[in-house]
A and B are shown apart, each in its own frame.
Chain A
Amino acid sequence: MLDKTLAELAQGLATGEFSSVELTQNYLDRISAEDGTLNSFITVTPEQALAQAEAADQRRAAGNVDVFTGLPIAHKDIFCTQGVRTSCGSKMLDNFISPYNATVVEHFNQAGAVSLGKTNMDEFAMGSSNESSFYGPARNPWNTDCVPGGSSGGSAAAIAGGLTPAATGSDTGGSIRQPAALCGITGLKPTYGRVSRYGMIAYASSLDQGGPMARTAEDTAMMLNVMAGFDPKDSTSLDQPVPDYTLKLNDSLKGLKIGLPKEFFSGEIDPQITAQVQNAIREFEALGATVKEVSLPNTHLAIPAYYIIAPAEASSNLSRFDGVRYGYRCEDPVDLEDMYKRSRGEGFGEEVKRRIMVGTYALSEGFYDAYYKKALQIRRLIQQDYVNALSEVDVIMGPTTPHPAFKLGEKNSDPISMYMEDIFTISLNLAGMPGISVPCGFANGLPVGLQLIGNYFAEERLLNAAHQFQQATDWHKQTPGQ
């Protein structure tokens, strides 16, 4: 039961093979047994999960069924959940019980989903390894000495480890796709504005996008059906019709034009990864796709631009964590300034403080034009690169990450080498387009991710391509040995 996909579990619930309560209890037991090692959850909510499962079973008995009725999922701890601690992986919010639900959470609740709990993450989504979490790192189920990736590392690890069939994630520079790749699961970052950001704690507002993580492309399509849509509470969400993302999954890939950016196959990249990705491309050719080389000439500028824009926005977004209204407040402040300094100094971790300082500097008087404004110009160039490339091809493909999962602690002392792990994912956030990572093989026994990139609102096409690949391969069916 625990290795099944959402689609299969939905089938089992529909045929009465098992109830939602049984299913939920199975996952809760599995979490109890395994999460001591994986540390993929910050908060498990068994009582709420079983109550939701009970309600779902009753709803089913009454014939009032949605696709998601009774299906368990988990939420990244960046999404506000009413009555449940929402920590964002930070000491700052360790005591924060959200009084409201994020729009995404609300959508899943209304669809009848069961929430098992809140998954581990890099603090305030700042990190690529899950090591910046106040609650300690989640571990990669394929090798528990390795990181699961980040920032949605808890979600990826929980899915790969069979602790939940699916989970929500958020992606600011690769935080869905990179951990999906490192843990051998499927993760989709939708078009910016496709999924409401309301209630998803902001890291970098112009880059943050919530999205689904699961075993298969089909499952992420089912989830996106629930998550996507205009939200009047989010001014940056887009008022575009939401298709049924499962409808075109089985369309043929005959004539699909694939572009391979030469910049994604050169430089600092593990040759085993290149090899696996090339094998995957051949699989697409076998399915009827054609391949050509394209160029994203400003790729090398993506990381520098991102590490201006994201910290700049973060430095402002995180100002609300001041110890005044909620969250961590230092002991016995002597005055206001002392309260600010110590509450923030003690409440935030090292990486968060680093990015706040970088962002504060970049926005300072006299530096704004040289850094922030320049970064916005680069952002437009990168966006134009993608627009140009996608005018020639339907889908861009390449590796999701330059390396497979690395060891815990390996890149901790060198932030730049950690930042470089996002080289293939980060530019897409700057461009605002959707991308999906699917498993496409192994390197040294660790999963390798293939990234598919499409134009604005091309989620349907990406899911179709990813699903067809998964119909032809079984990389996504591999599970870590117990």
Chain B
Amino acid sequence: MEWEAVIGLEIHAQLATKSKIFSGASTAFGAEPNTQACAVDLALPGTLPVFNGEALRMAVLFGLAIDAEIGYTSVFDRKNYFYPDLPKGYQTSQLFHPIVGTGYVDITLDDGTIKRVGVTRAHLEEDAGKSLHEEFPNMTGIDLNRAGTPLLEIVSEPDMRSAEEAVAYVKKIHAIVTNLGICDGNMAEGSFRCDCNVSVRYKGEEEFGNRTESKNINSFRFIEKAIKGEIIRQIDILEDGGHITQETRLYDANKDETRPMRSKEEANDYRYFPCPDLLPIVIDDDYVNQVRATLPELPDARKARFIEQYKLSEYDAMVLSAYRDLSHYFETVANTADDAKLAANWVMGELSKLLNQNDTDIKDSPVSAEQLGGLLLRIKDNTITGKIAKQVFEAMWAGEGSADEVIESKGLKQVTDSGAIESMVDDVIAANQPQVDQYVNAEPDKRGKMIGFFMGKVMQASQGKANPGQVQGLLKQKLDALANG
């Protein structure tokens, strides 16, 4: 019998509002502990929540982006439990009436087929603070800066059957929320994190197996590893005749394994009930249509447009359409240089390489899209060669100026003077008699390949600046003249 994994995911996306979901305190990341926690976030006696309408707009935008039902009346509920970084002793969430109902996203599998993954619901809630265990021996520090940051919890159907599918789904949701501008998507800072529910069963069975939940995994790679590991762990147990305990597990990236979280003596009873401090959120078609009007182009639509408009390959279009900033950058380069294929190669090649090497976000690229477009124009008009262009690009990255400035100051302009090129070609032919003899004596259909040697020598002599087309033409002309006597 063959095993099959069943995977459902809960994604917590921090919404990119300026202030918190129920207070006016800032949501900016990285401030000194407890400097961004106001009286409401501290749950001082007598304080009351006031709902941030921006979080509503963002949640509705997400719902529209995944073609979901929108909750015209949604209600905040209290989820009651005690924890030191949960100041009120309850988390304000939405259990019974979420703002976003059922929707879906399509993911592309490795074999190119499209799979539809259902989204059960997405609801608004508040993030908790952080407990700091390291810095205080025998004590726990509490930082409430994060407390009250708006979260959109996106719950999938158990539709995924492998870790790869799960990662494709997470990447898709990640691309959607970042494209919508409702989440910064920064997984390292915890702005986007994932709980993975995993169970296994024999293929063809209807019933789900007992599932485990691995919580708060914050990288695509860890999600994949945690799920793969968990699937193997469960299969091993079952094949040994064991039983899967329904439990919450913690993924340890250092050891690459999940382990049970401190087991609760009894199941939590969260005693959900509607929060009496907040009114139900009631929205109408006018509101939804206003939000719909602001819906930006999403990755799937953009990919199709890139293929259509720029004649990109399926792969290039997929890569370049995934993120708004990347797409925008690419399009600016393509339009500036009036050459989409060249722009795609450079953005996915040299630019991505340097961004990755320097761990830099494309928004912060030291070379702007317009500047890169300008560089490509110089390739196209034969001012420089593609090879020299890489050198120019690195100088631009280092802040040495625009393409034209770098080409000028470094004297990298391509040599197109046919007299100068001809004399270099003559020199190379004169200095490499054995190779010339080989060429002359070779079968005519083998000669094409042999020209590369002379090309290299000439380009070397010109420090890469000679126009390769001209060089090749002249070499062929002169060598063939020798061969043909």
Chain A interface residues toward B at CB < 8 A: 79-80, 86, 88, 93, 96, 98-100, 102, 197-202, 204-206, 232-236, 312-313, 315-316, 318-322, 324-326, 336, 340, 360, 363-365, 368, 372
Chain B interface residues toward A at CB < 8 A: 39, 42-51, 78, 80, 82, 84, 87-90, 140, 142, 269, 271-273, 276-279
* Interface CB pairs A-B, < 8 A, 21: A86-B46, A88-B45, A98-B45, A197-B46, A198-B46, A199-B46, A205-B277, A232-B50, A236-B276, A236-B277, A236-B279, A316-B89, A316-B273, A318-B89, A319-B80, A319-B89, A321-B45, A322-B82, A325-B43, A368-B273, A372-B273
Chain A residues closer than 8 Å to B142, beta-carbon distance: 324-325
Chain A residues closer than 8 Å to B89, beta-carbon distance: 316, 318-320, 322
* Contact in complex: A319, B90 (CB < 8 Å): yes
* Contact in complex: B50, A201 (CB < 8 Å): no
* Contact in complex: A235, B279 (CB < 8 Å): yes
* Contact in complex: B44, A100 (CB < 8 Å): yes
Query: For the complex, would chain A's binding face be called helix, strand, loop or mixed by DSSP majority?
Result: loop
- Across chains A and B, which 10 residue pairs bring their CB atoms closest together, nearest first? A319-B89, A363-B271, A205-B276, A206-B276, A199-B46, A320-B43, A201-B45, A80-B46, A201-B46, A365-B269
Chain A residues closer than 8 Å to B272, beta-carbon distance: 363, 368
Residue from B39, B48, B87 in contact with A197 in the complex, judged by beta carbons closer than 8 Å: B48
Q: Shortest CB–CB separation between residue A375 and chain B, in angstroms?
A: 11
* Contact in complex: A325, B46 (CB < 8 Å): no
Chain B residues closer than 8 Å to A232, beta-carbon distance: 50
* Contact in complex: B50, A325 (CB < 8 Å): no
Chain B residues closer than 8 Å to A80, beta-carbon distance: 44-46
Q: Shortest CB–CB separation between residue B319 and chain A, in angstroms?
A: 45
Q: Shortest CB–CB separation between residue A301 and chain B, in angstroms?
A: 20
* Contact in complex: A199, B271 (CB < 8 Å): no
Closest to B85 in A: A324
Chain A residues closer than 8 Å to B84, beta-carbon distance: 322, 324, 336
* Contact in complex: B277, A320 (CB < 8 Å): no
Query: For the complex, would chain B's binding face be called helix, strand, loop or mixed by DSSP majority?
Result: loop
Q: Shortest CB–CB separation between residue B81 and chain A, in angstroms?
A: 9
CA distance A326 to B278 in the complex (A): 24
Given A235-B277, A236-B277 in contact, is the A319-B82 Cβ separation under 8 Å?
yes
* Contact in complex: A98, B82 (CB < 8 Å): no
Q: Shortest CB–CB separation between residue B274 and chain A, in angstroms?
A: 9
Chain A residues closer than 8 Å to B80, beta-carbon distance: 315-316, 319, 363
CA distance A447 to B39 in the complex (A): 42
* Contact in complex: A364, B44 (CB < 8 Å): no
Q: Shortest CB–CB separation between residue A212 and chain B, in angstroms?
A: 19
CA distance A451 to B330 in the complex (A): 74
Q: Shortest CB–CB separation between residue B147 and chain A, in angstroms?
A: 11
Closest to B51 in A: A235
Chain B residues closer than 8 Å to A315, beta-carbon distance: 80, 271
* Contact in complex: B51, A312 (CB < 8 Å): no
Sample of 6 further A-B pairs with CB below 8 A, known A86-B46, A313-B276 = A88-B45, A98-B45, A205-B277, A236-B277, A363-B273, A365-B271
* Contact in complex: A360, B50 (CB < 8 Å): no
Chain A residues closer than 8 Å to B47, beta-carbon distance: 198-199
Given A206-B276, A236-B279 in contact, is the A320-B88 Cβ separation under 8 Å?
yes
Chain A residues closer than 8 Å to B140, beta-carbon distance: 336
* Contact in complex: A235, B278 (CB < 8 Å): yes
Chain B residues closer than 8 Å to A79, beta-carbon distance: 46
Chain B residues closer than 8 Å to A197, beta-carbon distance: 46, 48
* Contact in complex: B39, A100 (CB < 8 Å): yes
Given A312-B273, A368-B273, A372-B273 in contact, is the A200-B87 Cβ separation under 8 Å?
no
Q: Shortest CB–CB separation between residue B220 and chain A, in angstroms?
A: 34
CA distance A336 to B43 in the complex (A): 19
Given A80-B45, A98-B45, A313-B276 in contact, is the A364-B269 Cβ separation under 8 Å?
yes
